[in-house]
Structure 1
Amino acid sequence: MYLTQGLHRAVQQHPERVMTIYRDRRRTYAEAAQRIAALAGALRGLGVGDDEPVAILSLNSDRYSEFLLAVPWANAVINPVNIRWSPAEIAYSLTDSDSRVLFVDEAFAPMVAAIREQSECLRTVVYCGEGLVPESMLDYEELVAASDPIPDARRGGHAVAGVFYTGGTTGFPKGVLLSHANLQTSILGGLATGLFDKDSRILHATPMFHLADHFLWACGVSLGGTHVIVPAFDPPAVLAAIQEHRVTETVLIPIMIQLLADHPAAAEHDLSSMRHLFYGGAPISRAVLDRAVAAFPHARFVQAYGMTEVAAIATMLTPGDHTDTLLGTAGRALPHSEVRIVDAEDLEVPRGTVGEIVVCGGHVMLGYLNKPEETAAVLRDGWMHTGDGGFMDDAGYVHVVDRLKDMIITGGENVYSAEVENAISAHPAVALCAVIGIPDPTWGERVHAVIVCRAGRTVTFEEIREHTKALIAGYKVPRSIEITESLPLSGAGKILKRALRKQFWNESERQVS
Structure 2
Amino acid sequence: MYLTQSLQRSLQQAPDHTATIFNERRRTFREFADRVARLAGALQRVGMASGDRVGMLALNSDRYLEYFMGVWWGGGVLNPVNVRWSVAEIVYSLDDCDTGILIVDDQFLPQVEAIGAKAARTPIFIHAGELPTPPGMLSFEQLIADGPAVADAGRGGEDLACIMYTGGTTGFPKGVMQSHRNLWAAGMQRMTEMPPIRGGSNLHIAPFFHIAGLGRAVVQFLAGETHAVIAAFDPLLVLRTIERERVNETLLVPTMIQMLLAHPDFARYDLSSLARMAYGAAPSAGDMIEEVRAKLPWVELSHSYGLTEACPIVSTNPPENHSAEAVASGLSKSVGRSCVGVSVKIVDEEGVQVARGVVGEIVVQGANIMQGYWNKPEETAKALRDGWLHTGDGGYLDEQGYLFVVDRIKDMIVSGGENVYSAEVENVILRHPAVAMCAVIGVPHAQWGEAVHAVVVPKPGCEVSEEQVRAHCREFIAGYKCPKSVSLREALPLSGAGKILKRELRDPYWAQEKA
Deviation track 1:106-152 (CA, whole Å, cap 9, x = no partner) reads 11111111111221113311111112212221111101000200000
User: Which residue of the partner structure matches residue 290 of structure 1?
Assistant: 290
Query: Who is 1:342 aligned against?
Result: 347
Question: How many residues are matched?
Answer: 510
Equivalent residue, structure 2, for 1:414: 419
Give the equivalent residue in structure 1 for 2:40. Answer: 40
Shift of 1:492: 2.2
Partner of 1:263: 263
Residue 436 of structure 2 corresponds to which residue in structure 1? 431
CA distance in 2, matches of 1:112, 1:457: 44
Of residues 365, 386, 405 in structure 1, which corresponds to 2:391? 386
Residue 504 of structure 1 pairs with residue 489 of structure 2: no
2:99 counterpart of 1:99? yes
Residue 456 of structure 2 aligns to a residue whose secondary structure is strand
Q: Distance in 1 between matches of 2:137 and 2:432?
A: 51
User: Which ranges in structure 1 are unaligned for 5 or more consecutive residues?
Assistant: none
1:360 aligns to what SS in structure 2? strand
**Which moved further from structure 2: 64-73 or 324-333?**
324-333
What residue number does 1:132 align with? 132
User: Is residue 53–residue 77 contact of structure 1 (8 Å, CA) maintained in 2?
Assistant: yes
Following TM superposition, by how much is the alpha carbon of 1:180 offset from its aligned partner in structure 2, in angstroms? 0.4
Structure 2 residue aligned with 1:451: 456
What secondary structure is seen at the aligned counterpart in 2 of 1:47?
Answer: coil
Contact 1:102–1:122 under 8 Å retained in 2 = no
Give distance in 2, aligned partners of 1:135 and 1:46. 17
Tell me how far apart the structure 2 counterparts of residues 509 and 167 of structure 1 sit (CA, whole Å): 24
Q: Look up the match of 1:159.
A: 159
Q: Secondary structure at the match of 2:43?
A: helix
Kept in 1: contact 2:303–2:317 (CA 8 A): yes
What residue identity is the alignment partner of 1:281? A
Q: Secondary structure at the match of 2:294?
A: helix
Report the Cα offset of residue 167 of structure 1.
2.6
SS in 2 for 1:364: coil
Measure, in 2, the Cα distance between the counterparts of 1:167 and 1:140: 28
Q: 1:144-193 deviations in whole A, cap 9, x for unaligned?
A: 00020000011110000000001322221100000000111111111112
Q: Is the 8 A contact 2:255 2:285 kept in 1?
A: no
Q: How does 1:175-324 map to 2 (within 5 A)?
A: 175-322=175-322, 323-324=326-327
Deviates more, 1:396-405 or 1:434-443: 434-443
Q: 1:358 aligns with which of 359, 363, 369?
A: 363
Aligned-partner Cα distance in 1 for 2:121–2:147: 24
Q: For the aligned residues, what is the CA RMSD?
A: 1.2
| Letter aligned with residue 38 of structure 1 | R
Find the counterpart in structure 1 of residue 55 from structure 2. 55
2:26 matched to 1:21? Answer: no
- Partners of 2:382 and 2:402 lie apart in 1 by 26
For 1:173 and 1:200, locate their aligned partners in 2 and report how far apart those are by CA, in whole Å.
Answer: 36
Do 1:11 and 1:33's aligned partners in 2 also have CA atoms closer than 8 Å?
yes
The more displaced of 406-415 and 292-301 is 292-301
| TM-fit CA distance, 1:236 | 0.3
Are the counterparts in 2 of residues 85 and 491 from structure 1 also a CA contact under 8 Å?
Answer: no
CA-CA distance at 1:102 after TM superposition: 0.3
Question: Equivalents in 2 of 1:142, 1:198: separation in Å?
Answer: 35
Structure 2 CA distance, aligned partners of 1:63 and 1:374? 34
Alpha-carbon displacement from aligned partner over 1:336-363 (angstroms, at most 9, x marks no partner) = 2000000111111000111000000111
* Rounded Cα–Cα distance in structure 1 between residues aligned with 2:369 and 2:121: 29
Quote how far apart the aligned CAs of 1:509 are.
5.3
Look up the SS of the partner of 1:107 in the other structure: helix
1:262-303 per-position Cα deviation (integer Å, ceiling 9, x unaligned): 111111111121111111111103511111222322211111
The separation in 1 between residues aligned to 2:297 and 2:263, in whole angstroms, is 15
Which TM-score applies when normalising by structure 2? 0.97
Match of 2:405 among 400, 418, 432: 400
Please give the secondary structure, in 2, of the residue aligned with 1:487.
coil
User: How far is the alpha carbon of 1:335 from its aligned partner?
Assistant: 0.5
Question: C-alpha distance in 2, partners of 1:151/1:388?
Answer: 43
Amino acid at match of 1:140: F
The match for 1:483 is 488
The 10-residue stretch of structure 1 (387-396 or 444-453) with the greater mean CA deviation from structure 2? 444-453
2:498 counterpart of 1:493: yes
1:467-482 to 2 correspondences below 5 Å: 467-482=472-487
Q: Which deviates more, 187-196 or 160-169?
A: 187-196
Q: Distance in 1 between the 2:310 and 2:509 partners? A: 33
Identity within the alignment, %: 48
Q: Distance in 2 between matches of 1:378 and 1:65?
A: 30
Structure 2: stretches of 5+ with no match in the other structure: none
Q: Distance in 1 between matches of 2:249 and 2:102?
A: 30
For 2:454, what is the secondary structure of its paired residue? strand
Amino acid at match of 1:56: M
Is the Cα–Cα contact under 8 Å of residues 41 and 150 in structure 1 kept in the other structure? yes
Paired letter, 1:174: K
Equivalent residues of 2:285, 2:437 under 8 A apart: no
Which runs of structure 1 show a deviation greater than 6 angstroms over 4 or more consecutive aligned residues? none
Q: What amino acid is aligned across from residue 289 of structure 1 in structure 2?
A: I
In the alignment, which of 375, 383, 390 is matched to residue 370 of structure 1?
A: 375
Post-superposition Cα deviations, 1:353-381, rounded to whole Å, max 9, x if no partner, equal 11000000111110000100000011001
